[in-house]
Amino acid sequence: MSLATLLHQSLGVALDAPLIRAVSLQSDEPPNIKTAHSVLQQHFTLSSAELVSIWADSVVRALSAIDDQLNGGYLSLASNGRLCRSYSGAMRSYILDPFGVTHGLDRAARHVLCRQLHHHTVRMLQAMDRLCSTYDLPDPDMAELLTQDIDGFTQRLLERIERVCLHLPQQVYALLAYREVFGHAVLYFFRTALQQDPRVQATERVLKQQGVRLSPKPFKRHLVKLQKQQIQHQEALTHMLSTRERDHRNVLIKKLDQLDDLLFAVRMHQELLQHFRQYCADWNAYLAVRPCELQQWVISAVLPPDEPVHSATDAHNGSLELELTSMAASSGQSMSYETDVPDVHGWSKARVQSYQHETAMKLNIPVVFHDSFQDGSDAPDMVVIPPGRFLMGSINGEYRRADNERQHAVTVSQAFALGKYPVTFAQYDRFCIATAREQPGSSGWGRGSRPVINVSWYDAMAYCQWLSAMTGQTYRLPSEAEWEYACRAGTTTDYHFGDTITSDQANFQPDDVDFSEWIKDAKTTPVDQFAANPWGLYDCHGNVFEWTGSEYDKHYSGAERHILTIDADDDIRRVVRGGCWYFYSWWVHSAARFWLLPDSRNFLQGFRLARSL
């Protein structure tokens, strides 16, 4: 990870680049991206050396402030206890305490972790020249500033520290990354320092005069209007799909994507400011000293003289790392890390199946199993999915890759079960009869083993609740991350069977077939017609869209890992996955995503069950 990349991401926040980009990319409204680019080139005249100096100062201040607050050092004392009472308390309650609970650390173990953090903070400050080396650093590219966001900023910053300075212990790394505290602190100081520069202030004035730089405050007045537009476009799109009108589909999808970009930029800007204020507000008032003085304070004064810093070369069993582990063990609490879960990305079919069987044996259940109804009959077949880490999303260059498929690492920390097939008409009709619900239409294609269609998200959730009551187990919809993890089953290709797809492998609209002829006979197929993926799941590609339990977030900000409750707001968009019989091949690959409002019903969508283990 280069310093230039980190610098560009920092500048993106300081200049609110995502907000500028979203506003200026509205092609039907002046000004456009070229205007913003021209203004920045003309007025933003800070050199790379100046920017690096500000950035290095920001890193020093961030490290020093975090260390000082968690260790109660010189700055807390120098401020007559005010910093200690206010900001140190906020840091501990917002960062250290919940981190300790998550990782099973008692009070003593948290104290040792703080000492360990101090030790490595000193080493990082001493290595600041290497961390901020300007060798071959180019001047910032104004066009790049308009397209950078801060996604993963803390991780990239920590990766650079480990590459050029020192290896951080796992717990120190995790603490600095927790809730993005390190990255937010660096960006707070960088933003504050940069916005005090007269040249940046001049740039902001010109951008505002040109109508490019809109502040979030007046933007709030447009949020309700934009959200209403989203609902209207979605309703129009749903109607278009249900009536098989395709002419304006792509236009509507593009408009919805533009609204997504705009709303996301505003939300990200507001969330960043909220995080900055959460534990960074007014730090500059206490850190109004030169970085060298600040560094010396931290090195010499944070820990009392009777608590010596452990040497980095100390290899005996009394090291801080072992001390931390032993304290947690003595308290009777487990230490759980994501690294305990294997990275299955790129595993062979034989390896993922072996891992699946091992997981099922540990859980004392078959790989494929079914629960029983109260009358002794069988509930739907479920497949054990083991925990693991994988890369969610698609890589640059994948065929017809969409811009909502950003690849990122995701951990599925708990084993779960997923339906062997999408829920069929036979299974759903039993639910309707038992609860006196109206049975959904089949579009004349048949019922039985075909996947149920014309069901809303609420219908799917109601089925899960009924099945849970009938079996005594916990059924639900899968999160979006669980769905893709299960679909891929360790594979890294476009589809679980490779990078190409044919009509013998899934039910979808072939790319090279005339639509007017194909649609005459197009319809859903029985759920067991095509081959299963390595984990034994059928119809992961095509046939019907499958509801998930997650809120749609175009930019993958974490919603893909969470499951909404049945009483979530009606205007929250739900993710559907897997593509369907009606769409081309690029809509059915493993990373393909789409969304619908929860009350939407049409002949494209069904659902697949998940079950907690």
Q: Which two tokens stand for residue 397?
A: 């260059």
CA distance 541 to 590: 7
Q: Residue 443: phi, psi to the nearest 5?
A: 60, 20
545 and 398 co-located in one domain: yes
CA distance 520 to 526: 18
- Could you tell me the residue range of the domain that residue 393 belongs to? 349-612
Contact between 604 and 241 under an 8 Å Cβ cutoff? The reply is: yes
Can you tell me which residue has the tokens 């487990």? Answer: 334
Closest CA to 56 of 323, 292, 237, 256: 292
Whether 406 is covered by a domain: the verdict is yes
Whether 316 is covered by a domain: the verdict is no
288 and 264 co-located in one domain: no
Contact between 71 and 114 under an 8 Å Cβ cutoff? The reply is: yes
The pLDDT value given to residue 548: 96
CA distance 591 to 392: 7
H or E segment to which residue 567 belongs: none
Contact between 408 and 392 under an 8 Å Cβ cutoff? The reply is: yes
Q: How far is CA 126 from CA 2, 23, 75, 283, in A?
A: 19, 42, 19, 22
Q: How far is CA 560 from CA 294, 478, 511, 533, in A?
A: 41, 10, 29, 22
Contact between 105 and 333 under an 8 Å Cβ cutoff? The reply is: yes
H or E segment to which residue 596 belongs: strand 593-596
CA distance 525 to 446: 9
- What is the Rg, in whole angstroms, of the alpha carbon atoms belonging to the chain? 27
Whether 333 is covered by a domain: the verdict is no
538 and 591 co-located in one domain: yes
The pLDDT value given to residue 375: 86
Amino acid at 397: G
Residues of the chain scoring pLDDT < 70: 1, 18, 21-33, 72-90, 134-144, 146-151, 211-226, 241-247, 262, 265-266, 268-269, 273, 275-340
The pLDDT value given to residue 150: 66
Q: Which two tokens stand for residue 385?
A: 């999915």
Beta strands in 311-459 (DSSP E): 368-369, 382-385, 388-392, 408-412, 416-419
Whether 386 is covered by a domain: the verdict is yes
The pLDDT value given to residue 64: 80
The pLDDT value given to residue 330: 40
389 and 428 co-located in one domain: yes
CA distance 503 to 510: 7
- What's the CATH code of the domain at 378? 3.90.1580.10
The pLDDT value given to residue 49: 81
Amino acid at 469: A
Partners of residue 273 on adjacent β-strands: none
Q: How far is CA 303 from CA 75, 217, 293, in A?
A: 12, 43, 17
DSSP, collapsed to helix, strand or coil, labels residue 601 as coil
Whether 315 is covered by a domain: the verdict is no
Question: Looking at the 3D structure of the chain, how many domains does it have?
Answer: 3
CA distance 78 to 298: 13
270 and 162 co-located in one domain: no
373 and 231 co-located in one domain: no
289 and 265 co-located in one domain: no
Chain centre to alpha carbon of residue 440: 34
CA distance 367 to 301: 58
Helices (H), 127-215: 128-131, 142-145, 153-164, 170-177, 181-195, 198-209
DSSP state of 577: E
52 and 192 co-located in one domain: yes
Cα–Cα–Cα angle for 191, 9, 159, rounded to 5 degrees: 110
Q: Residue 575: phi, psi to the nearest 5?
A: -80, 135
230 and 364 co-located in one domain: no
The strand order across the sheet containing 416-419 reads 368-369, 382-385, 416-419, 610-612, 475-476
DSSP, collapsed to helix, strand or coil, labels residue 278 as helix
101 and 64 co-located in one domain: yes
Q: DSSP per residue over 54-103, as a string?
A: HHHHHHHHHHHHHHHHHHT-HHHHHTTTHHIIIIIHHHIIIIIHHHHHHT
Q: Which two tokens stand for residue 452?
A: 């149920």
CA distance 47 to 255: 38
Closest CA to 172 of 126, 119, 106, 224: 119
Contact between 47 and 139 under an 8 Å Cβ cutoff? The reply is: yes
CA distance 463 to 476: 9
Reported as a single tens digit per residue, the pLDDT across 276-332 is 666 665 565 555 554 555 555 555 544 444 344 333 333 333 344 444 444 434 433
Whether 303 is covered by a domain: the verdict is no
With both helix axes pointing from N to C terminus, report the angle between 198-209 and 33-43 in degrees, rounded to the nearest 10: 150
103 and 77 co-located in one domain: yes
Mean pLDDT over the full length of the chain: 79
Q: How far is CA 97 from CA 105, 239, 376, in A?
A: 9, 49, 48
CA distance 14 to 123: 28
The pLDDT value given to residue 33: 67
Contact between 184 and 276 under an 8 Å Cβ cutoff? The reply is: yes
205 and 224 co-located in one domain: no
DSSP, collapsed to helix, strand or coil, labels residue 388 as strand
Contact between 580 and 542 under an 8 Å Cβ cutoff? The reply is: yes
Whether 327 is covered by a domain: the verdict is no
Whether 337 is covered by a domain: the verdict is no
